[in-house]
Amino acid sequence: MIDVMVIGAGSAGLVTAKQLAASGKSVALVENDTIGGTCVSYGCVPKKLWHRVSALGGQMDAANDYGWSVSESSFDWEAMQQAIRGYVQKLNARHYQKCMDAGVTVIRGQASFVSPTTICINDTHYTAGHIVVCVGSTAKKEPIPGVDYCDTSYDFFSWSKQPKSVAIWGGGYIAVELASILQACGSRVHIICRQSQVLGGFDADLRAFIMDRYREKGIHIHTNSTIDRVDRIDEDTHRVVMGSQSIRVNRVIQAIGRRPNTDALLCESAGIMRDANGAIIVNDQYATSQPTVSALGDCIGGLQLTPVAIAQARDWFHRVWCKGNFPVDFSMVPTAVFSHPEIGTVGLTEDAAREQYADVSTKTLTFTPLTAVLSAQPEPVFIKVIMSGSDLRVRGLHIVADSASEIIQSLAVAIQKGITKADLDKTMALHPSIMEELVTIY
């Protein structure tokens, strides 16, 4: 009998399996797709590479404003897809080898529960003392007429040809990131958003600012809209119908959210409870309704971010499995949106802060950074600080700027430690820089 079986070789599953193996347990890791999960194969990694690739186009255009003579350029979409896919495959192989080196047994196939201690994979039953479910989530598709003509973000990374026009249904991270990549590479892009603004859940002022930036760059945003159906006109053309309005595009992407990837597990066969969206229900120790089964990562709902899944795996191993301690603060999670321009945030939005605290104050700045003043199309910076209390403790920070993700990761340490406006005021500014404005907001 196996000591622990981990189902899912994504971010949470890999960390869990390797930690258990290092502690001397016999561990089997089950995966029916790539080793590395969505983040490595269909999400964070290839998306960040595409973000960089697409940014270079705008940088070449801007170079002409700075004295460089940049001749007419061309872009090889297929070559970049192959290069990115090749790098991802190397990562998949590296993660697999690390499992081998750690003594983890990797089993390929779809797992389904037979009982709270038994799993069926490829018609073979495996029994384990404990089972940890880390199957993540998958892109949702609305079953509208013409759904078969719609892609998801997963499909984007296998497109062999760049479309001239794309409609993206959704307004979250994935929608605006793919829209920015495609627009920067030269495609005509439509975002079709059910809400009045994109990026629901982000600060309202940031959402208004970023909507203007996307539109300024040429992205067509249809707010308070939804897709009724998609009609195929020919092999490369589709009609997207939104009420009385319609548009013609080459490709359609549904980016309307994600769903826990739990259906094929047959959780009910083992008495494992799920919620209405398919998320496995767990307590504060990641225990399911069966004491021999735990669950971690995107498949339990909540914040669906790679660092959160990894932290949950470490928390479960140290605090639950080893009865030790793993200090982690899930209330202060920095996040980034790799669009053009880039977004970085940590802490509370203004609306959330006002719900929690009575005495909230904010400082907001928008300005053109020195590095952009010679550009014909300068990219402005947005900074918003949210504070509360007589000591003006910083409760949230929201930035739109080049390298916003790098900035917010560094500042997240200070904000998590409880810095105040006075701490910002007494910090010496570094001039000239974008973030000197943060420590000189008087």
CB atoms closer than 10 angstroms to residue 30? 25
CA–CA dist 436, 370 (Å, integer):
12
Rg (CA), the chain: 24
Per-residue pLDDT of the chain (442 residues; tens, 9 = 90+): 899 999 999 999 999 999 999 999 999 999 999 999 999 999 999 999 999 999 998 898 889 899 998 877 889 999 999 999 999 999 999 999 999 999 999 999 999 999 999 999 999 999 999 999 999 999 999 999 999 999 999 999 999 999 999 999 999 999 999 999 999 999 999 999 999 999 999 999 999 999 999 999 999 999 999 999 999 999 999 999 999 999 999 999 999 999 999 999 999 999 999 999 999 999 999 999 999 999 999 999 999 999 999 999 999 999 989 999 888 889 899 999 999 999 999 999 999 999 999 999 999 999 999 999 999 999 999 999 999 999 999 999 999 999 999 999 999 999 999 999 999 999 999 999 999 999 998 7
The gap between the terminal CA atoms of the chain, to the nearest Å, is 65
Cβ–Cβ under 8 Å, residues 308 and 302:
yes
Per domain, the residue ranges of the chain are 2-138+259-321, 147-256, 341-440
CA–CA dist 109, 121 (Å, integer):
6
Q: Which long-range contacts (CB under 8 A, 24 or more apart) does 215-219 make?
A: 216/377, 217/180, 217/183, 217/184, 217/340, 218/183, 218/188, 218/189, 219/179, 219/180, 219/183, 219/189, 219/190, 219/191
Q: 122 is written with which tokens?
A: 């490829």
CATH 3.30.930.10 fits 147-256, yes or no: no
CB atoms closer than 10 angstroms to residue 415? 19
Domains 2-138+259-321 and 147-256 are alike in CATH topology: yes
Query: Does the active-site annotation cover 190?
Result: no
Closest CA relative to residue 421, chosen from 395, 386, 403, 394:
394
Cβ–Cβ under 8 Å, residues 99 and 31:
no
CA–CA dist 310, 295 (Å, integer):
12
Q: Which residues make Cβ contacts (< 8 Å) with residue 346, sequence separation at least 6?
A: 332, 333, 334, 335, 396, 397, 408, 411, 412, 415, 416
Q: 124 is written with which tokens?
A: 């073979």
Write out the DSSP string of 207-252: HHHHHHHHHHTT-EEETT----EEEEEETTEEEEEETTEEEEESEE
Q: How many CA atoms lie within 13 A of 94 on its CB side?
A: 8
Q: Which long-range contacts (CB under 8 A, 24 or more apart) does 266-270 make?
A: 266/112, 266/113, 267/113, 269/112, 269/113, 269/114, 269/115, 270/113, 270/114, 270/115, 270/116
CA–CA dist 220, 167 (Å, integer):
9
Closest CA relative to residue 406, chosen from 334, 339, 347:
334
pLDDT at position 311:
97
Catalytic residue among 130, 318, 340, 431: 431
Cβ–Cβ under 8 Å, residues 349 and 396:
yes
pLDDT at position 61:
85
Token look-up 């909507």 returns: 211
Q: Which helix (H) or strand (E) holds 432?
A: none
Helix axes 204-216, 173-184, angle to 10 degrees: 20
CA–CA dist 230, 145 (Å, integer):
6
Phi, psi of 100 (to 5 degrees): -60, -45
Distances (CA, A) of 168 to 152, 237, 386: 9, 15, 32
Write out the DSSP string of 273-300: -B-TTSPBP--TT-B-SSTTEEE-GGGG
Q: Which helix (H) or strand (E) holds 271?
A: none
Name the fold adopted by 2-138+259-321.
FAD/NAD(P)-binding domain (3.50.50)
pTM: 0.96
CB atoms closer than 10 angstroms to residue 368? 12
Q: What is the CATH number of domain 341-440?
A: 3.30.390.30
Q: 347 is written with which tokens?
A: 């802490």
CB atoms closer than 10 angstroms to residue 321? 20
CA–CA dist 293, 289 (Å, integer):
8
